[in-house]
Amino acid sequence: MTLLTSLAILPLLAQGTLQTGPDLGKAEGRCRPNERGPALIVSAVGLKDRTGNLKLEVYPANEQDFLADDNVLLNAGKTFRRVEVPVPAGENPELCIRVPGPGRYGVILLHDRDTNHRFNWQRDGIGFASNPSFGMSQPDWNEAIATAGNGRTRISITLNYLRGLRGMQPLD
């Protein structure tokens, strides 16, 4: 390969560089005071305790993109939104997350009890829109869909925690 060819390829390689970091999708997902437009107001039901963070994420509503790597989704121009906050006080805290427009989205809520930004199935809680039961396996993408309207759309997500041999289930 000649030097000229190598230099011509550099801009193409730079365009393919993936974004990375725990803040991906947060600016796009954050609701702002008095803002109108499509958003999900998610009530977190069944928290085990008030430790750690709640992390709410929105994905495209299709099998290949649901729970896909956030870097890949954003670099492909696809929907990915994230809101992460310390667990708020109150019985059923609410989180607001903006979505690009009215429509269907895959939605997941994580209770990261030790704030390490990694899901630990033995310690952390997890829930999906539509509140499917899933035991020891991830639900199908179409069981985790919420439909957002033109304004604020309210949904509830029940968190599931490891319950011994019964797998991931809501607390009693």
Express as a percent the part of the chain with pLDDT over 70.
Answer: 87
**CA-based diameter of the chain, in Å?**
68
Q: For the residues 3-18, what does the mean pLDDT come to? A: 41
Which residue reads 């906050």 in tokens? 85
Task: Name the amino acid, one letter, at 102.
Answer: P
Look up residue 36 and give its amino acid: R
Identify the three-state secondary structure at position 11: helix
Domain spans of the chain? 22-165
First to last CA, the chain: 65
φ/ψ (deg, to 5) at 137 = -130, 155
pLDDT of residue 134: 85
Which amino acid, residue 149?
A: G
CATH fold of 22-165 reads Immunoglobulin-like (2.60.40)
Q: From the centroid of its chain, how far is CA 126?
A: 11
How many CB atoms are located within 10 Å of the residue 43 CB?
Answer: 16
Q: What is the pLDDT of residues 85-119, one digit of tens each?
A: 999 887 889 999 999 999 999 999 999 999 998 89
* Residue 21: predicted pLDDT: 66
Cβ-contact 130, 144 below 8 angstroms: yes
Give me 62's structure tokens.
């299709």
Q: What is the pLDDT of residues 34-84, one digit of tens each?
A: 888 999 999 999 999 999 999 999 999 999 999 999 999 999 999 999 999
14 pLDDT above the threshold of 80: no
**Cβ atoms of residues 101 and 40 within 8 Å:** no
Taking the C-alpha atoms of residue 99 and residue 149, their distance in angstroms, rounded to an integer, is 10
- Summarised one tens digit per residue, pLDDT across range 122-169 is 999 999 999 998 888 889 999 999 999 999 999 999 999 999 888 999
Q: Is the pLDDT assigned to residue 6 strictly greater than 80?
A: no
